[in-house]
């Protein structure tokens, strides 16, 4: 079975009620591809508002982070049950900004991933290398290490979408070529075959997360192992619709 194209929109620390209303209404009224699953991820404070506005059948809402405890004295955190309670379906985990700014290591990401999946959320699992790691030629070593931590904890990958995000391409305007992306995505899928089996590897969607935009998204169209995009700043703009429809 062909993997369904998937486009995630990570709003990061951006937005207001007015801007989120504008974004969601644009998606609701657009002629979106029926073959693309779309997940928008606004800041946590707007999750409830976003889910109340979404009416497009192919669009759902996700969180940008979740804690690995159900409740308790964890000031500032958001629980999986709270995310589910406002009808959000997904969560982004392991994003490079969480790993670098908030010091989330591979084990923390793995624990959060397991907890979110066990509690019924889908997970957009981010992996990727820094510019220094890329220059050192250890890209595959880095992504394998990041994957191994999650593989050790998670046995059912049905609700996992992997987002390969070359850290050097996030917010810089730089981007891997479609050929570069295909090469690393194919290597990730080959690694999953060895670790999880051919069926799981074939079914797992692998997104490209490095500065995808309305201009370059269509150039990835014929890349067999690029199953969509995790989009940052462009998800706040009208061109997000073009990215969603780039496979059609």
Active site residues: 95, 165
DSSP per residue over 77-117, as a string?
A: ---HHHHHHTT--EEEES-HHHHHHS---HHHHHHHHHHHH
Q: What are phi and psi of 144, to 5 degrees?
A: -65, -40
Structure tokens, 248: 């059609």
Give the whole-angstrom CA distance, residue 220 versus residue 239. 16
Q: How far is CA 140 from the centre of its chain?
A: 19
Q: Cite the beta strand spans of 29-168 per DSSP E.
A: 36-41, 59-63, 90-93, 122-127, 160-164
CA angle in degrees (0–180, nearest 5) for 20-22-25: 105
Dmax (CA) of the chain: 48
Say how far apart CA 244 and CA 230 lie, in whole Å: 11
* 3-class secondary-structure state, position 81: helix
Supply the DSSP symbol for 2: P
Check the CA dihedral 181-177-11-34 and report its sign.
Answer: negative
């Amino acid at each position: 079975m062909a993997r369904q194209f998937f486009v995630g929109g990570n709003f990061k620390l951006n937005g207001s009620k007015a801007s989120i209303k504008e974004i969601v209404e644009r998606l609701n009224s657009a002629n979106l591809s029926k073959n693309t699953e779309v997940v928008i991820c606004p800041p946590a404070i707007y999750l409830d508002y976003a889910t109340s506005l979404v009416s497009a059948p192919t669009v759902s809402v996700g969180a940008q982070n979740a804690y690995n405890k159900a409740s308790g004295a964890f000031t500032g955190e958001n629980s999986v049950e709270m995310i589910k309670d406002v009808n959000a379906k997904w969560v982004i985990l392991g994003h490079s900004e969480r790993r670098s700014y908030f010091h989330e290591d591979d084990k923390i990401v793995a624990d959060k991933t397991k907890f979110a999946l066990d509690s019924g959320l889908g997970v957009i699992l981010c992996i990727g290398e820094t510019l220094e790691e890329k220059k050192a030629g250890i890209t595959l070593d880095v992504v394998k290490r990041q994957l191994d931590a999650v593989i050790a904890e998670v046995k059912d990958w049905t609700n996992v979408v992997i987002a390969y995000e070359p850290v050097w391409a996030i917010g810089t305007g730089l981007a891997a070529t479609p050929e570069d992306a295909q090469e690393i995505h194919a290597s990730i899928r080959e690694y999953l075959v060895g670790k999880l089996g051919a069926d799981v590897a074939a079914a797992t969607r692998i997104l490209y997360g490095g500065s995808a935009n309305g201009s370059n998204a269509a150039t990835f169209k014929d890349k067999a192992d690029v199953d969509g995009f995790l989009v940052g700043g462009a998800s706040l703009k009208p061109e997000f619709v073009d990215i969603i429809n780039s496979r059609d």
